[in-house]
Amino acid sequence: MARPGCSSPTRAGCLLALAVVLAASVASAEPEASRVIAAPTAWVPRAGAVNASLGIDHRGGALAVAGIGLGDLAHLELGLDGDVRLGDGSPLRLPRAGFRLGARPDAWFRGQPAVALTVRTSFAAPSTAAAADVTVADATVSASRRVREVRLHAGLTAIDARYRIGGELIRLGPGRPRLRPTAGLEWTPPIYPNTTLVLDLGWAPDLAPTPTLRYLADLGARYRVYEFLTVELIVRHRQGEDLAATTVATRLNVALF
């Protein structure tokens, strides 16, 4: 009597099927980051989960941020980035602190997306010849949902910025924050379970001489090296810049549960 299971002629096929199932299971466990690239997500890490990102672009902009999940409903983050630009186009390495409060998918009702409120503000900003006492803050309400191999993100962000030039206080808006939409998409093709294509829309101010809010359109690919480690290659178009001014960046992400 033949034993149940895979016979010799089909053993290779069974092993291949098992490998695909295992790969899909691991891919679904990919850490859910606080941002796609520039756009916030609504994911809240588990209590005690630690995440960190390091990045650099060809213009000299840098990213270094670390965070920790608190009580399965909040996330605390600290770091710096170069999204804000000075008048000459050079990135301002701006230290920031952020806090997120959110609810997981289906927490309140079936089909509910993850929802979160994220607040960030800068601190100890370096003074330059172009701007001093720089403060940039934003607050974003966002929603995120996984649909099969796609993760969708949408939100509304309020951004404010102020700084001094020669003692004069300059603000981004006429006494109130600017409201802008954010969006993001992450797609992991089933045939490439370790690779994710990412696309998002975010916002950041250009400072002196005249403060202007610019959109950031990002396109990139994320490769999962290990379950806890991903590497990203990102191409960014900033509003008002031509094709020759496109920014290319790379980023390393670590998540420890």
Residue owning tokens 């109130």: 176
Instruction: Say how far apart CA 26 and CA 7 lie, in whole Å.
Output: 27
Residue 28 lies in a domain: no
Residue 75 lies in a domain: yes
Asked if 32 and 46 touch (Cβ cutoff 8 Å), the reply is no
Q: How many domains does the chain have?
A: 1
Residue 5 lies in a domain: no
Beta-carbon contacts of 35 under 8 Å, excluding residues fewer than 6 positions away, are 41
CATH of the domain at 251: 2.40.160.40
Asked if 146 and 185 touch (Cβ cutoff 8 Å), the reply is no
Residue 9 lies in a domain: no
Residue 109 lies in a domain: yes
Residue 180 lies in a domain: yes
pLDDT, tens digit (0-9, with 9 covering 90-100), for 70-85? 988 999 999 999 899 8
Instruction: Say how far apart CA 57 and CA 75 lie, in whole Å.
Output: 26
Q: What is the mean pLDDT of residues 26-54?
A: 83
Q: What is the mean pLDDT of residues 18-28?
A: 38
Q: Pick the more confident residue, 113 or 24.
A: 113
Residue 87 has pLDDT above 90, yes or no: no
pLDDT at 129: 64
Q: Is the entire prediction scored with pTM above 0.85?
A: no
Instruction: Say how far apart CA 84 and CA 105 lie, in whole Å.
Output: 32
Residue 149 lies in a domain: yes
Residue 25 lies in a domain: no
Q: How far is CA 158 from the centre of its chain?
A: 17
- The parent domain of residue 201 ranges over 34-256
